[in-house]
Amino acid sequence: MSHIPVVLMMRADLPARLFDPERLATVADVVEFARAEVVLSGWGCPPLDAELLAGAPSLRAIVHAAGGVKGHVTDACWDRGLLVSTAAGANAEPVAEYTLARILLAGKATDRLAREYAARRSAIDLVSEFPEIGNLDKTVGIVGASRIGRRVIELLRPFSLRVLVSDPYVEASVELDELLAASDIVSLHAPSLPSTRHMLDARRLALLRDGATLINTARGALIDQDALVAELVSGRIEAVIDVTEPEVLPPDSPLYDLPNVVLTPHIAGALGVEVRRLGASALDELERYARGEAFAHPVTREDLARIA
């Protein structure tokens, strides 16, 4: 296998966390930008605009060892005809795993019961007080058949759950309003686009069943946060919120303290040892490129209209 001149464009701490150095050395010669044929990018990569690209006449491809490419792949990259690949599929796995866990825990009313037990510090009559807990025949609504959404659906198949999907690109999907009204648990996996901003507004949030759980591991902008806070303050629904708008909430946000909210600091995606999966996926693509094969996980200009 021939060695490809590669430039690493990512935060300085990432290469050691992402890549097996021996495997990287078998396929790549790490060079300065001016000599690079491939950009191996990650979090922290600057926008590859026309001015920057002018300094790399041999550049042919961008292999992104993370998820979304919109932050650094500019129109100039497409105009130049650069090939683009992403490890978004590898990043989808931990998000889907986390979502599966949260769906099953929500069906079992785990967080609500844990809070109640801590408050009472005495026995709870589960039969009389929580007769509807459990995951048998519950309805789970998946909003967005993205990579993550599709993987969540796959992971749910062994369980006795009814799954509804709402996605404008999926022929067999249901209308979003119908999904919200019919689901015990709703999980968001749609991209953040102008057309999806605040797709869950006050009207749609009101469609959720009393006691339903809303899970958001996608983007905070999908939900009108003021309307969500109002619903949660009422105590009518529960929520598992991993992403917010803004990304870090102000200290006085009610979401930190509401008893019916599980609020986490954007932990669903690849973290810790999980980032190695992203690096391995990117090196797989680099090896395909070195063999003259097509990328397994390509991104095109047209894809940007429907991906995060």
For the chain, give every domain's residue range.
4-86+272-305, 91-263
Contact 67, 269 (CB under 8 A): yes
Do 4-86+272-305 and 91-263 agree at the fold level?
Answer: yes
Catalytic pick from 245, 274, 276, 287?
245
Q: How many CB atoms lie within 10 A of CB 233?
A: 13
pLDDT single digits (tens) 239-296:
999 999 999 999 999 999 999 999 999 999 999 999 999 999 999 999 999 999 999 9
Please write the tens of the pLDDT for every residue from 212-244.
999 999 999 999 999 999 999 999 999 999 999
In this prediction, residues 182-189 reach a mean pLDDT of: 98
Mean pLDDT of the chain: 96
Indicate whether 1 pLDDT > 70: no
Per-residue confidence (pLDDT) for residue 222, from 0 to 100: 98
pLDDT on residue 286: 97
Catalytic residue among 64, 219, 277, 297: 219
148-182 confidence digits (pLDDT tens) = 999 999 999 999 999 999 999 898 899 999 999 99
Region 95-111: mean pLDDT is 97
Is 231 a known active-site residue?
Answer: no
pTM of the model: 0.92
Q: What is the pLDDT of residue 63?
A: 98
Question: Among this protein's residues, is 154 annotated catalytic?
Answer: no
User: Per residue in 59-71, pLDDT tens?
Assistant: 999 999 998 899 9
Total residue length of the chain: 308
CATH pick for 91-263 out of 3.60.40.10, 3.40.50.1010, 3.10.450.50, 3.40.50.720: 3.40.50.720
Q: What is the pLDDT of residue 10?
A: 97
> Looking at domain 4-86+272-305, what is its CATH homologous superfamily?
NAD(P)-binding Rossmann-like Domain (3.40.50.720)
Name the active-site residue from 198, 236, 266, 288.
Answer: 266
pLDDT on residue 308: 66
pLDDT at 304: 80
What is the residue type of 121?
R
Phi, psi (rounded to 5 degrees) for 93: -60, -55
Q: What is the reported pLDDT for 68? A: 87
- Per the annotation, the verdict on 32 as an active-site residue is no
pLDDT score of 76: 97
